Amino acid sequence: MRKRLLAMATLTVLVFAACNSSGTGGSGAPGGTGAAGGGCLVGVSWNNYDQERWKKADEPAIKKAIEAGGGTYTSTDAHDASEQQNKDIDTLINKGVKVIILLAKDAASITPAVTKAEQAGIQIIGYDRLIEDEKALYITFNNKRVGTIMAQELLAVQPTGNYAIIKGDPGDANAKFLRDGMDEGGLKAAVDSGKVKIVGEQNTPNWDTTGAKNEMQAILNANNNKVDAVLSENDGMATGVSQALQAVGLNIPLSGQDGDAAALNRVALGQQTVSVWKNAFALGETAGNAAIQMCAGTKLADVKAPSDLPDASKPADLASHPFTTPGGKTVTSFILNPTPIKKDNLSAVIDSGWVTKDQVCAKVTPGSVTPC
């Protein structure tokens, strides 16, 4: 009997030690409190890791939040191929992940893989791109608001004339959210009043820089270069648009988003009006933190955003909210706020560590812009 009690006591100590060693808590949890992340393997499926933003901000922030909560990070890269991303989900399932943070190449084509993961008991976070799935958590910025800001900023400096619109990938719901936001930002009213004429509007597969350049060239050719402003839905495409404009000697109002270094330099040089910056450090932290909470068994409706997010990006409150998708489904979401970056507030992205002063001020006349 004594031997049996001694064996049971030894087993209890070993089990307690094993549970303790798995790791819990961390500064990334909401309000700085602990979250049970031990044994939590979180997989991220990137649609295309080559994009500047993912490796510079989103991934480091996601990884830091996961590890702060005691979890482990792993990832795959689909290299902009839907078929590969479906295979990548299988890879993550086989690795034994408990949560997948999914940056979808194409929300429709990824559906079978998402369903398979959920059937395996894996939870899904739709990261920055919507998945029409009521079981998934959706974490993004207010993309309609991004489009609204773009239209407002361009209309403020160019209230009349010929506008071109270079939209993102047709398979990405964000492209439509942005376009709808433009109309809400005054574009539709300006068109209806006759002040603005849209002389070209084109979706760009993969949000591709070269594709955007070719589309802009075609619009310029069709209109004898008579274009007065361009609403580009992101900075990568704005790079292609800018190249096409410079080739014909045009320097006109131009929008973008993401705060790419090249775009912020164009803002400083006066070659781009606005880059709507989405603080990807904050988005990544929110996603990694949510994954740890979900691993711990927290219901989607009870997941909280981190309390230490920058005020400019923070949601109205830290609770998740219902979001109605274009397909009429209701998903649980965190919607962070974007920040327009123009000449007068370029210091914000430098001070945050997003970009360096040298990147922003390259070839800029000293004294022409505050940080330069």
pLDDT digits (tens, 9 = 90+) for 196-226: 999 999 999 999 999 999 999 999 999 999 9
In angstroms, rounded to a whole number, what is the distance separating the alpha carbons of residues 213 and 241? Answer: 5
The single-letter DSSP state of residue 140 is E
* Predicted local distance difference test score (pLDDT) of residue 73: 98
pLDDT of 259-308, one tens digit each? Answer: 999 999 999 999 999 999 989 999 999 999 999 999 999 999 999 999 99
Predicted TM-score of the model (pTM): 0.76
Helix (H, G, I), strand (E, B) or coil at 276: strand
Whole-Å CA distances, 31 to 35, 54, 85, 309, 369: 11, 26, 34, 10, 38
* Predicted local distance difference test score (pLDDT) of residue 233: 98
Residue linked to tokens 């299988």: 90
**Per-10-residue mean pLDDT for the chain, 372 residues long?**
39 35 32 51 95 88 97 96 96 98 92 96 96 95 94 98 97 92 98 98 96 98 98 97 98 96 97 95 96 96 93 83 92 94 95 93 95 94
**330-336 and 137-141 strand pairing:** parallel
Residue 120: exposure state from Cβ atoms within 10 A (0-12, 13-18, ≥19): middle
Query: Domains, the chain, ranges and CATH?
Result: 28-142+280-337 (3.40.50.2300), 143-277+341-361 (3.40.50.2300)
* Predicted local distance difference test score (pLDDT) of residue 314: 84
* Predicted local distance difference test score (pLDDT) of residue 56: 85
In angstroms, rounded to a whole number, what is the distance separating the alpha carbons of residues 213 and 166? Answer: 10
- Which residues, in sequence order, are CB contacts of 119 under 8 Å at separation 6+? none
